[in-house]
A and B are shown apart, each in its own frame.
Chain A
């Protein structure tokens, strides 16, 4: 009997396993779990940033403006995923990729050529209404700005920044209980978007991309100016069920000319209110834009910032708060005096050295006294 080469045997085993388990294994899709590619020069990529709400439709294009802060040359690429989570370009073959970007260099990768910007690379794509993207590189030392822009004219009729998006956190966030979806699954996670607009021809669209490994439900609740909820996710008004892994859904307060909504929320005019994005999973990332709904490209468009959780911000910047407990006490002021007099080293309370000059000035001491009397001004990061 002729011996079977090991490689052939391994291939046969893999094929057999694929036949046995293939139907039960979920296909990899979307920005969360599609394997990170290698660039054409063989270098492995890392994830720099995920972007929900990428658009290539009508006159709107999406541009990615990225600068390398690495000390060596890096490869930078953009992978665009369609509404269904399917990857639409292959960075490995050079589509959407720029190799050997030098330190400090800025590259602009676009879903189309635009009149406003000078693209270093244009990705050849079909219409994307609306999907997601993944910025990848051979180094994490990359920073990017992502803009939706009217491609036809300069200055563009409309432009808006796509934020990094927000993932919902566990719990209701508001005092109002989370809803149950019409398939019986309870919403378990939420994020908030203040400043939602549904007035005249100004409306709000929400782009949510599933990062989950299994289907999830996503909903958007709209609250009026007075705080009353205006739509029922439980009745499927503002809900999309069984969102597939990697899929991007768009929910709007109306149908817009610029975007293709998966679901339009029926709600009376609210002027400016609040939205709560709810989900059965934390594995979803959402962004929101306010836009002129009647035209494409819209005459006006702007991103809205979202918030996940509203816990008090941690104290990190209170002048004179040597112990870091959020208060400035007499003892801490005394420590400051002793540092000024030179009888204690600066290391005893670096929180007094606001300007990082290695010493405590009279201004800084007065600032600490003010903090002791009026409370600490905090500086931190809202999740």
Chain B
């Protein structure tokens, strides 16, 4: 099963329902006041950022977009690029776009201006939108971007009847040296999984409250594991990765900061690795010993985070091999 996101537009949320007694009463003025206050607060709160809460765009033909897919772990670095292969499955033409967000959550292309967008995709057609041209694929559209190391992306369309596969690909040769699928990742749920292993506290004294498991984490020779997590929250959160050896013993201490990134800003993507790799730019490298194949637990103090895990050759870029663990 693949987690995804999409949107139902509510064109007139204020008038779709009969007025309630509350809205006919003087309380209505209170509501209006609260809304005004809300908008004033928006100006002092963190700006919308990232795939979680950046407002959905309109395409250049005026059609509003819905979110089809949110992808943590998008890469554009050296020869590694990300391609989005999307097919229109509806019965009418649809607009399809890809929004790329940098590691800091900042939107890097404007679908409304046509950057990263393909309009009027006829039913059954497949479009490929890439962060660069590649030798392996034939891109319908290339998004001009600076190198972003690891960020995130949102596939948007004028209909939710669009489905995609997302690939990290070596852009220089065909067949590519590296080819790996990116999914929507995993998201932590409230509570402790497994129940027997208590959740840690982060260094700042904030307790981890959510967790999700990723079996098959590898740290052996040049084969290492990277965890690319994107915050979907509206306020800073803490994100940690705990690595367990084959015998189930915990190999790092999130409480001391080994495998933890604190205060991750809304929309930001952080990369934690079992080692430093040539392909990716790690926010933090965990200090670990003796894992071979084990298990990882993503911990956070919010449910609003999505993580992708990749096993890859750490020594060269593009890596000789790379596979997803969370697809």
Given contacts A159-B321, A334-B31, A305 and B2 within 8 Å (CB-CB): yes
Pick the residue among B3, B30, B301 that contacts A337 (CB under 8 A): B30
Q: Are B194 and A71 in contact (CB under 8 A)?
A: yes
**Bound CA–CA A317/B14 (angstroms):** 20
**What is the interface of chain A, defined by CB distance below 8 A to chain B?**
65-67, 69-71, 102-108, 116-118, 120, 141, 143-145, 147, 149-150, 154-161, 163-164, 173-176, 192-195, 197, 199-202, 223-228, 271-274, 290-292, 294, 298-305, 307, 310, 312-313, 315, 326-331, 333-334, 337, 354-356, 361-367, 369-383
Q: Are B136 and A199 in contact (CB under 8 A)?
A: yes
Residues in A with CB closer than 8 Å to B161 are 310
Q: Are A327 and B136 in contact (CB under 8 A)?
A: no
Residues in B with CB closer than 8 Å to A333 are 31, 34-35
A155-B222, A164-B1 known, 5 other contacts, Cβ within 8 Å: A69-B213, A104-B248, A108-B292, A176-B124, A362-B41
Residues in A with CB closer than 8 Å to B181 are 161, 302-305
Residues in B with CB closer than 8 Å to A301 are 179
A-B contact pairs, 14 of them (CB 8 A): A103-B248, A106-B215, A149-B321, A173-B89, A192-B163, A194-B86, A195-B87, A195-B167, A300-B175, A331-B22, A333-B31, A375-B7, A381-B3, A382-B163
CB distance from A289 to the nearest CB of B (A): 9
**Bound CA–CA A141/B1 (angstroms):** 17
Rank and list the top 6 A-B pairs by shortest CB-CB distance, nearest first: A227-B124, A104-B248, A145-B216, A195-B85, A195-B165, A155-B313
**Bound CA–CA A304/B163 (angstroms):** 12
Q: Which residue of chain A lies nearest to B136 when distances are taken between CB atoms in the complex?
A: A202
Residues in A with CB closer than 8 Å to B295 are 67, 104, 106
Q: Are A69 and B193 in contact (CB under 8 A)?
A: yes
Residues in A with CB closer than 8 Å to B327 are 161, 163, 303, 305
Pick the residue among A69, A120, A160, A326 that contacts B323 (CB under 8 A): A160
Q: Are A65 and B31 in contact (CB under 8 A)?
A: no
Q: Are B13 and A372 in contact (CB under 8 A)?
A: yes
Given contacts A120-B246, A155-B315, A375 and B223 within 8 Å (CB-CB): no
Q: Are A65 and B293 in contact (CB under 8 A)?
A: yes
Q: Are A330 and B302 in contact (CB under 8 A)?
A: no
CB distance from A204 to the nearest CB of B (A): 11
Q: Are B4 and A106 in contact (CB under 8 A)?
A: no
Q: Are A161 and B294 in contact (CB under 8 A)?
A: no
Instruction: Name, among B195, B234, B312, the residue most crowded by chain A CB atoms within 10 Å (CB to CB).
Output: B234
Q: Are B223 and A155 in contact (CB under 8 A)?
A: yes
List residues of B (193-219) whose CB comes within 8 Å of A's CBs.
193-197, 209-210, 213, 215-216, 218
Given contacts A118-B220, A305-B181, A334-B31, A329 and B8 within 8 Å (CB-CB): no
Residues in B with CB closer than 8 Å to A334 are 22-23, 27, 30-31
Given contacts A273-B126, A302-B181, A367-B53, A373 and B138 within 8 Å (CB-CB): no
Instruction: Name, among A164, A176, A195, A225, the residue most crowded by chain B CB atoms within 10 Å (CB to CB).
Output: A195
Dominant secondary structure of chain A at its interface with chain B: mixed
Q: Are A194 and B164 in contact (CB under 8 A)?
A: yes
Given contacts A150-B321, A380-B3, A375 and B196 within 8 Å (CB-CB): no
Pick the residue among A144, A195, A290, A375 that contacts B8 (CB under 8 A): A375
Q: Are A363 and B10 in contact (CB under 8 A)?
A: no
Residues in A with CB closer than 8 Å to B14 are 329-330, 372
Residues in B with CB closer than 8 Å to A312 are 6, 8, 160
Q: Are A372 and B10 in contact (CB under 8 A)?
A: yes
Given contacts A337-B30, A376-B8, A355 and B41 within 8 Å (CB-CB): no
Is B114 an interface residue, CB under 8 A from the partner? no
Q: Are A313 and B2 in contact (CB under 8 A)?
A: no
Pick the residue among A103, A154, A272, A380 that contacts B221 (CB under 8 A): A154
Q: Which residue of chain A lies nearest to B51 when distances are taken between CB atoms in the complex?
A: A377
Q: Which residue of chain A lies nearest to B56 when distances are taken between CB atoms in the complex?
A: A374
